[in-house]
């Protein structure tokens, strides 16, 4: 189903590359082509002889780090959920694999007030759908508490997850009623025992996909992604607000006459919403990294695009304590290799302050960024330029004084 392939690739960038992962840690402090291009506190890779990729990273209440992705080298199947806990300097405390005989792919992780971790994504191994939403609960030590799939005899995929105000879990992604029908934004809500509280979906004539999820300051649910059901362009950014019962409060289609997709959404300290992804305005120009700021009601305040001759895409965004925002993604225009990781800082008006690239002679992707308690930037993704295998998961930690060259 081509529409599903497109939806999955948007979130994962190259999700068609399935992973094979034997998770050993390989620290490489590269003093070659990288030394003159970027400064970092450390950069480490983790992986085996084939593919391993990371998609979400959080700093835990303990100061340790949790990173998740998916792997084909576990004992279970073709691709398994993978989670790892690292100390603040990237040394692995534990790693674990979860899944069945088919493809099970993890894209998000959250921590609850007791230190438990919840992993969210999709599973082709369990349930009646192809795939189903899939959630795994782990203790702080990485022990599996429960795993559960959710869905109908249809298509459900989870791409982002948050912890709700009532300590419940919300997972958003895509839903389709049949193999050949259009995609809808799909959302489920669970309690900490994995019991389904509600499941809902939203869509019209065409495809609608949720790729990012956050909680609003008034304890409601904000979802962003893309739509070709409505809006002025071929595809536009979809922004929705729901209450905690899953009822739609409002939705907006934002963008131009071209193509825009949102991969990341945050609510800013000023109450506005910041969305990050990419914009494509025609074959004479490739994809540009795209930022769009709205007020709390979803009305446009400003938009900005950044790019060069080739493709740039934003995958994550955070607000800086001192003001402004840091965007993480990939760049092809400013890379050493095919693609490099890309870190961009803008001010509150979307004007560029500095940018940095991270990568080697092949392809390197940053999928997630967080700001540590001490202000350091910590990024996670995967690399084809270094490590043990065809691609390895990698983490980069830089201090907050990172500046452009």
Cβ-based burial of 358 (10 A; exposed 0-12, middle 13-18, buried ≥19): buried
Nearest to 159 by CA among 210, 194, 114: 210
State the Cα–Cα distance between residues 184 and 182, nearest whole angstrom.
Answer: 7
Render each residue's pLDDT in the chain as its tens digit; 405 residues: 222 222 332 333 223 332 323 334 444 433 333 333 445 788 888 877 767 889 999 999 999 999 999 887 666 668 888 899 999 999 999 999 898 888 889 999 999 999 999 999 999 899 776 799 999 999 999 999 999 999 888 899 999 999 998 889 999 999 998 666 799 999 999 999 999 999 999 998 899 999 999 999 999 999 999 999 999 889 999 999 999 999 999 999 999 989 999 999 999 999 999 999 999 987 666 899 999 999 999 999 999 999 999 999 999 999 999 999 999 999 999 988 889 999 999 999 999 999 999 988 899 999 999 999 999 999 999 988 887 777 788 899 998 776 554
Instruction: Quote the pLDDT of residue 73.
Output: 66
Between the CA of residue 313 and those of 186, 261, 402, what are the distances in Å?
A: 24, 10, 20
Six token digits for residue 152: 């109908």
Q: Which residue has the tokens 């939806």?
A: 7
Nearest to 131 by CA among 154, 161, 109: 154
Six token digits for residue 324: 């402004």
| Coil, strand or helix at 94 | strand
Six token digits for residue 241: 């607000």
State the Cα–Cα distance between residues 296 and 317, nearest whole angstrom.
Answer: 17
Q: Which residue has the tokens 């739509």?
A: 227
Burial call 171-207: b when 16+ CB within 10 Å, e when fewer:
bbbbbbeeeeebbbbbbbbbebebeebebbbbbeeeb
State the Cα–Cα distance between residues 194 and 198, nearest whole angstrom.
Answer: 12
Cβ-based burial of 113 (10 A; exposed 0-12, middle 13-18, buried ≥19): exposed
Predicted TM-score (pTM) of this structure: 0.89
Six token digits for residue 334: 């400013």
Nearest to 43 by CA among 351, 381, 277, 330: 381
Between the CA of residue 141 and those of 69, 280, 400, what are the distances in Å?
A: 18, 43, 30
Instruction: Quote the pLDDT of residue 297.
Output: 97
Contacts of 218 (CB under 8 A, 6+ apart): none
**Domains observed in the chain:** 2-398 (2.120.10.30)
Instruction: Quote the pLDDT of residue 51.
Output: 75
Cβ contact 149:157 at 8 Å: no
State the Cα–Cα distance between residues 274 and 270, nearest whole angstrom.
Answer: 11
Between the CA of residue 190 and those of 103, 153, 171, 374, what are the distances in Å?
A: 23, 19, 9, 33
């Amino acid at each position: 189903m081509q529409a599903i392939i497109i939806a999955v690739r948007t979130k994962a960038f190259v999700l068609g590359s399935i992973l094979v992962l034997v998770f050993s840690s390989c620290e490489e402090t590269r003093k070659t082509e990288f030394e003159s291009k970027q400064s970092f506190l450390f950069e480490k890779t983790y992986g085996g002889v084939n593919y391993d990729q990371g998609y979400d990273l959080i700093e835990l209440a303990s100061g340790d780090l949790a990173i998740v992705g998916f792997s084909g080298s576990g004992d279970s199947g073709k691709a398994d959920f993978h989670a790892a806990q690292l100390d603040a300097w990237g040394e692995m405390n534990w790693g674990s694999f979860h899944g069945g005989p088919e493809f099970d792919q993890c894209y998000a992780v959250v921590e609850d007030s007791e230190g438990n971790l919840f992993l969210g994504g999709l599973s082709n191994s369990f349930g009646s759908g192809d795939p189903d939403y899939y959630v795994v609960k782990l203790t702080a030590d990485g022990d599996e508490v429960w795993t559960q799939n959710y869905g109908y005899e249809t298509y459900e995929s989870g791409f982002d997850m948050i912890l709700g105000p009532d300590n419940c879990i919300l997972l958003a992604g895509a839903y389709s009623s049949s193999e050949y029908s259009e995609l809808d934004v799909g959302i489920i809500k669970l309690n900490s025992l994995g019991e389904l509280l509600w499941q809902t979906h939203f869509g019209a004539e065409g495809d609608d996909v949720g790729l990012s999820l956050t909680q609003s300051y008034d304890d409601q649910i904000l979802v962003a992604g893309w739509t070709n059901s409505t809006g002025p362009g071929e595809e536009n950014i979809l922004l929705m607000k729901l209450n905690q019962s899953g009822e739609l409060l409002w939705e907006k289609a934002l963008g131009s006459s071209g193509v825009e997709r949102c991969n990341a959404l945050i609510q800013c300290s000023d109450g506005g919403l910041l969305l990050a992804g990419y914009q494509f305005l025609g074959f004479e120009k490739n994809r540009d990294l795209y930022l769009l700021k709205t007020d709390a009601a979803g009305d446009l305040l400003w938009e900005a695009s950044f790019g060069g001759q080739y493709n740039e895409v934003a995958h994550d965004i955070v607000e800086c304590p001192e003001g402004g925002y840091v965007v993480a993604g990939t760049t092809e225009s400013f890379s050493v290799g095919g693609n490099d990781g890309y870190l961009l800082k803008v001010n509150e008006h979307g004007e560029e302050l500095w940018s940095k690239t991270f990568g080697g002679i092949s392809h390197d992707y940053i999928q997630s960024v967080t700001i540590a308690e001490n202000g350091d930037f910590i990024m996670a993704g995967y690399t084809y330029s270094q490590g043990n295998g065809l691609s390895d998961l990698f983490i980069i930690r830089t201090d907050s004084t990172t500046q452009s060259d």
